[in-house]
Amino acid sequence: MRSKEIIKFLSIAEKLKCELRHSWTSTMRQESVADHSWRLCLFSWILKDKLPEYDMDKVMKMCLFHDLGEALAGDIPSFIKNSEDELNEENAIIQILNMLDGVLKDELENLFMEMKEQKSREAKLFKALDKMEVVIQHNEAPIETWIPLEYELNKTYGSDEVKGIKALEELREVIRKDTIKKISG
């Protein structure tokens, strides 16, 4: 990639700092997509010793890049996202990938396909962590920022994805208990 292309790619990625999510931080600031992706990547890194059978470098890359399409398509909360929204995000990803060349483009195309297909153990782990990070963030945010459906959703979101991964099953149970405690006041 030439210098101008690198800067253009980074300029698009910068939009993730500006794209706000449905979630709020503990200080009542609306979370950005970049905030979420950064902490999700950190989450995967901190678990690497508990999950030695996984290619955690690949998982961290999935965490880092998974929402890149939202730089152009915007963020739609999972509980209202539809097939048209998913198609818009996929088209945005294609547009961004076309800015890259060679090995970088191939690597990201393969990562996005792997995440979409959800067949590899790393893609499944990434998806479980993505959902758990969201619930942790909601538990950290003031309860006034929650919408009614989150009172039940936070108890179960990501539970299916962690099944069969002992370290994550235990962590998800702690997160569920934190949700119940948060709701109880």
Range of the domain at 51: 3-184
The number of domains in the chain is 1
Identify the CA nearest to 126 among candidates 50, 46, 63. 63
The CATH number of residue 34's host domain is 1.10.3210.10
Q: What is the Cα–Cα distance from 135 to 179, expressed in whole angstroms? A: 8
Q: What single-letter DSSP state applies at residue 180?
A: H
What is the full per-residue pLDDT of the chain (185 aa) written as tens digits?
889 999 999 999 999 999 999 999 999 999 999 999 999 999 999 999 999 999 999 999 999 999 999 999 999 998 899 999 999 999 999 999 999 989 999 999 999 999 999 999 999 999 999 999 999 999 999 999 999 999 999 999 999 999 999 999 999 999 999 999 999 98
For the stretch 65-95, pLDDT in tens is 999 999 999 999 988 999 999 999 999 999 9
Q: What pLDDT, on the 0 to 100 scale, is given for residue 2?
A: 86
